[in-house]
Amino acid sequence: MMDMTALDLQHLTPVLRPVPDTKPAVSVVGLGYVGAVSTACLASLGHRVVGVDIDLEKCEQIAQGVSPIHEKDLGKLLSEGVENDLITATDDLTWAVRDTDVTFVSVGTPTAADGGCDYRYIEAAARSIGVGIAQKSDFHVVVMRCSIPPGTTLGVMAPIIEKISGKAMGADFGVAFNPEFLREGVAVADFYAPPKTVVGATDDRTARIVARMFDPVDENVITTSIETAEMVKYVDNVWHAAKVCFANEVGRLCKPLGVDSHDVMDIFVQDTKLNLSPYYLKPGFAYGGSCLPKEVRAVAHIGDKIGVDIPMIQALGQSNAAHIARAAEMVLETGAQKVAVLGAAFKPGTDDLRESPILEVIATLSDAGVAVSVHDTAITQDTNIEGQLAYVRHGSPGLQRLASDLRGMLSEDLAQTVQEADTIILCHPHQSYQDALSHVAGKTVIDLVRLTSDVQDTTHVNGIGW
């Protein structure tokens, strides 16, 4: 984020209140997916929360209890937080730091031009936080919640805060790293039932303050060093990306051999002791979204910078691109002149288009002269496509190429979209899509999610790995 200077908007500046004795007051910097969910859920646990963002529209939405994104149950929690006088919003980060005890930093960490992490928003937030800490005498805790390379919290953010505030980390203020493990679409549910809670901190006092905040949802908080906590977040997401590519390569290998890849993987995932979670281990489509592509690039970049050869991680992007290319090839092989895409976001239950792999397919089809119509249950003409493009300017060529055309491809009439198409690409396993496809016998369906066997009985269905 850029420096948070007040914009003379009185209705966006919360009224100063005394800090509760039992629960620290919290400021959340960056009101995107992680920040908005953290704001709503922390307020539901009884914390007074001040949301902070340079985007005045987001601030106004949060202040009115309206969700700025499509996320299950988020609007309800935000509305309740505002009604209970626990949620407010402002564009003045320095003010918010002075008025709270703990600051969660959830600003964007997009891919830089060289493939690494872009630190601009972290640095800008740190400067404003430093000014705020300089103006208060109480011990303040700063909690990083962004995905960043190990060493960033103590090597980039903390020195800026110390320099500007003139105060000492560990004595006058604490710093922690608390990775989030929230899946878009079910982020609220994940907050209340986390797979794990990790807190890396500079000192015991900071660790206790942050860990205590999550006691209501996790009695077994893991405390560790900041560098370890930073790396855990990257390792988790790189592993998820690895699982997607592994399952897809199994599918591509099985198909020409006449082996049912889902039978293979159904047996494989029964080993939960060694093979871990089955969540990503299904042959399907490519990985995408705001985390996995950027963090695979970031970890590969780290290895390159320190001279460590990590060929599997470096090859994940190549494997993912091959899967995307095969999807486009399969559509072009049908000779279709009109194609319907059912599901444009990178996964169901969200309106997030950032690095959605189907966008690369759509771009390829458009370049080949194929007319494409797109339907998504969560994306409308009001979706902020341009804002998402700005975030991934170095990471999503498909979204960049479609930026000016995608809105014109969107259709709200599912039945018409399906009926007018020669070939249908199924990207999301929605019941409405299954119902629509049951009435279009004879059309070719490229099923990237293997919806159900019923669809296969009524239409010509084909997948990349089955």
Take residue 367 and report the two structure tokens written for it.
């370049």
Q: Distance between alpha carbon 197 and the CA centroid of its chain, in Å?
A: 18
From edge to edge, which strands make up the β-sheet containing 444-447? 371-375, 338-342, 423-426, 444-447, 460-462
Neighbouring residues of 251: CB distance < 8 A, sequence distance ≥ 6: 261, 283, 284, 463, 464, 465, 466
Q: How many helices, marked H, and strands, marked E, lie in the chain?
A: 20, 13
- 319 conformational bin, left if phi > 0, alpha if psi -120 to 50, beta if neither: alpha
Take residue 313 and report the two structure tokens written for it.
């991680």
**Pairwise CA distance, residues 141 & 123, whole Å:** 17
Q: What is each CA distance from 100 to 95, 133, 144, 438, in whole angstroms?
A: 9, 10, 16, 55
**Pairwise CA distance, residues 211 & 230, whole Å:** 16
Q: What is the maximal distance between C-alpha atoms in the chain?
A: 72
How many CB atoms within 10 Å of residue 406?
Answer: 23
Which of 41, 44, 47, 78 lies closest to 61, judged by CA? Answer: 78
Q: What is each CA distance from 117 to 306, 356, 457, in whole angstroms?
A: 15, 19, 47
Quick check: 304 and 318 in contact, CB under 8 A? no
245 is catalytic: no
Identify the active-site residue in 41, 254, 291, 427.
Answer: 291
| Torsion angle defined by CA atoms of residues 464, 358, 329 and 115, in that order, rounded to the nearest 10 degrees | -100
Phi, psi (rounded to 5 degrees) for 105? -105, 110
Phi, psi (rounded to 5 degrees) for 59? -60, -45
Active site amino acids: 291
